[in-house]
Homo-oligomer: A and B are copies of this chain.
Amino acid sequence: MSLNLLLASTSTVHGHPYLSYYKDAWTAHFAEGSGSVLFVPYARPGGMSWDDYTAHATKAFEAEGIPMRGMHTYASPTEALADARGVFIGGGNTFVLLKTLIESGAFAAIDEAVKAGMPYMGSSAGSNVAGLTVGTTNDMPIVYPPQFDAFGWIPFNLNPHYLDPMEGTTHMGETRETRIREFHHFNSQPVLGLREGSWLEVRGDNVTLHGSLTARLFEAGKAPAEVSSGALAI
């Protein structure tokens, strides 16, 4: 595999425009090649249509001089990828995303292209699916996908929008940390909690954490650890 990935925690950091917090990274990531960046709108945040979501992402890309086109506007996933310089899967609902990717045939086609080196970017749900499974998503399971196995390009799971326990709350729902510990009663792979405004860069086998915050690494049978920006050993 010749991986070339940007995996962002979120599309939008509070108080900043869509995709702006890591704009230098993604404009460089998609600078080369003659085709469009293929936008995959299948996660449908807020139930938004494929067309509306694609228009939203395209506005941000075209402002940087990068052409973009929605995957759903092509006759087939293969035809879409043949025309693309890279792929961006936007955030939304991870279950809706995974189900649509698989049922449309896009899952296998994107997997093949990305393993062959095509630049990939994900945000939130689009980052979740780069991990081993979607078993650490925060999303509501509003549709039933045919599997929880994801692309598995990185040898761990992600938890985007990682949220530290809030002091003083009286709500008895589990904290994010408690949920990830539960995950490790049934699964062995590490889980990386990516805080808002963080992103991972994956080049071949090298994974680098970017952004101003640390990330929280959960490994089965170990105490959680904070990992700093820079090269990660997971």
Contact = CB atoms under 8 A, between A and B. Distances in A.
Interface stretch (A26-34, A74-82, A174-182): A174-182
A45 B172 CA distance: 12
A171 interface: yes
Contacts of A132: none
A107 to B, nearest CB: 16
A186 to B, nearest CB: 5
Majority-rule SS of A interface residues: loop
Nearest to A11: B172
Interface centre among A170, A182, A196 (most CB of B within 10 A): A182
A15 B172 CA distance: 10
Number of copies of chain A assembled together: 2
A193 to B, nearest CB: 12
Contact of A46 (B139, B182, B187, B196): B182
A172 B13 contact: yes
Contacts of A144: 135, 147-148
A82 to B, nearest CB: 31
16 contacts: A47-B181, A47-B184, A47-B185, A96-B182, A134-B141, A135-B142, A135-B143, A137-B140, A137-B141, A138-B140, A138-B173, A141-B141, A142-B182, A144-B147, A163-B171, A172-B196
